[in-house]
Structure formats: structure tokens, C-alpha cells
Amino acid sequence: MTTLTPPAAGTPHLTRWLIRLHRPALLFWTAVVVTVSGVLLWLGGPLADASAAAWRAYNACRTATCAYDQAAILHYKDVYTYTTYAVLAAPFLVAAWAGAALTGREVETGTARLAWTQSTSPLRWFASRLALPAAVVTAGTGLLVLLHHLAWSAGKGRIDSLKSWYDLPTFYANGPVVVALALAGLVAGALAGLLRRGSLPALVAGLGFTGLLWYGVQLAIPHLWTTSTAVVGLRRFAPAGGGLGVDEGIVTATGAHVSNPTCANSENVECLAFYDKFDAVGWYRDYHPASHYWPLQLTATALVLALTALLTLLAFRLLHRETGLRKGRSA
């Protein structure tokens, strides 16, 4: 296998070298963004119009034999699901590539060390590996999130089967937290490439970190903003509190809240015994209404970006320490 000679020092040279080295990945990312963007525009335009017309015809039905375009409704639903998960896959694609190719392959083949000794410093080399990909990832993922949000908004009040804002895949695909997760995946993958010294281990490590971070975000988001609370009497229906649910349970005679998401104001034997045990007088539900969407999204995005900055600082410090030790030993 032929080893490409690193370019001379200088930011323009490093940028051209990076584009040349990772041109297939750049073309693939561009193709993914353009394709998904086109489908999202189709989803929010002709598909949304066709599905809305079908729902109007369905709701106007007064007989069992009236006609409506069921295929348009199902087609919209399927395309919406596929594009939503395509947007959510972006952080994992970025993390896998960053670990396997951005740094892992160059460290594994020795190209990185050659560049450090002949053309540029390790810290400058790593900075060049992050700056341009970060811009490309932010632009591409940000465009997908924007178009997904517009496509979803085009169906509000028109398509009865449209996912609610708090449906978890929709919640994430509609907001900037996905962009922050993609940047975190980029840095995590690049850091894994430095530490694991192999493409495949770094790929797995980058994917694993991104998955764990996303899981942590899902656990944390409901608690990043003060919830609203709905309360009803015990023998009435449980409070609707339409939105992102956080907790629910009974209200005792003293006004205390005791969590119990399983009974939901049911009157079976087990639930009646539970109500009597705690002297229940009502039922409560803590939730986030639609007005909390952007506070939750922006707070989660800020936290993920802060973690990404810490990972970046850690990567630079580790690289500086490692290369500094090697220089000391060689001296």
C-alpha cells in the first residue's frame, strides 16, 4: 500500500491534504445530506398535501363505503419514519468515521507520526483534523434538522396521524441537540482513534461513546427544566397533561405526591389497596408542555457542547503529553 507524503506545514496545505485524504467520506456525507434533504422537502410538500387531503376525505366520511386515499396516509407515515431515523443516525455515522478514518487510520499506519516529525506539530495536526470536519458536520446535520422540523410543522393541524412533538424520535430529530451529539461523536471518535491506535477499535469506541451519551441525554432531558403538574380527584380520569411525561402518581391527604405510574387511577384490587395505604385523595402528573420544548432542547444542546469542549481539551492534553514524553525519550 502506498503511503501518501504529508504536505508542508501551513493551514491551506493541511486543509487541502485533509480534503484529498478523506474525499470519499466527504462525497458520501454530501450524498447522504442531499438525498435525505430532498426526501424531507418531498415529505413536507407533496406528501404532506396528499396525506392532508386524504385525512380531510376520511374525516368527512359519513358512510362505511366512502372513498379516501389510504395509500397517501400510509406513504406519508412510512417516509416520515424513515427520514426521522436517517436524521438520528447522523451522530453515529460521524462517530464511526471519525474513529476509523479521521485519526485512527493515520495513527495505525504511522502517517500521523511522519507528519509530526516532518511537517507540522501534533497539536496543529489534530486541530486541522477537527476544524474542517466540525464545520461540515454542523452544516450538514443542521440542515437535516431544520428540514425535518419544517416537514413536521407542515403536517400540524392537517394530518391526524402526525407524531406529537414529544414523541422521542420526533423530539430529537426536530432540534439542535442532534447537531451537538454529532459534534460530540466527531470528537469522541477522533479521541478514540488517538487512544485505541487502530481503526476498528476506535470505530467501536466512538460508536459506544455516542450511544452512551445519547442514552444519558434521554435520561437527563426531562429533568433539565421545571415541570408542570396536573391534578384531578382520585375517582376521576387521570390528568391528561398533554406533553412529555416525567412522573405520575397519587396525591395523599397531606398533599404529598407518591409516584405510581402503573395504576393510572385504576380501580383494580392492587391499586385500591395502594390508595388506602397512602390515604390517596387525588392523582397527579408531572409533565412538560409544548412551551418547554425549546428550553429543554437548548439546555441539553448547551450541556452536550460543553462536554464536547471538555473532550476536545482532553484530547489536546493527552496528545501533548504523549508526544512530549516521546520527545523526551528520544533526546
pLDDT in 10s for each residue of the chain, 331 residues: 344 445 544 556 666 767 777 788 899 999 999 999 999 999 999 999 999 999 999 988 877 778 888 999 999 999 999 999 999 999 999 999 998 888 877 777 766 676 667 667 778 878 888 888 999 999 999 999 999 999 999 999 999 999 999 999 999 999 999 999 999 999 999 998 888 767 888 899 999 999 999 999 999 999 999 999 998 888 777 677 678 989 988 899 999 999 988 887 788 888 889 889 999 998 899 999 999 999 999 999 999 999 999 999 998 888 878 665 454 444 4
Residue-range domain boundaries for the chain: 13-59+66-223+294-330, 228-291
> What are the Cα distances from residue 64, in Å, to 58, 59, 74, 189?
10, 12, 19, 56
3-state secondary structure of 243: coil
* pTM, 2 dp: 0.87
User: Looking at residue 241, what is its pLDDT?
Assistant: 67
Radius of gyration of the chain (CA): 26
Positive or negative torsion for Cα 266, 268, 272, 274? negative
Q: Is 62 exposed, middle or buried (0-12, 13-18, 19+ CB in 10 A)?
A: exposed
Residue 57 host element (H or E): helix 48-59
Closest CA to 144 of 88, 69, 219: 88
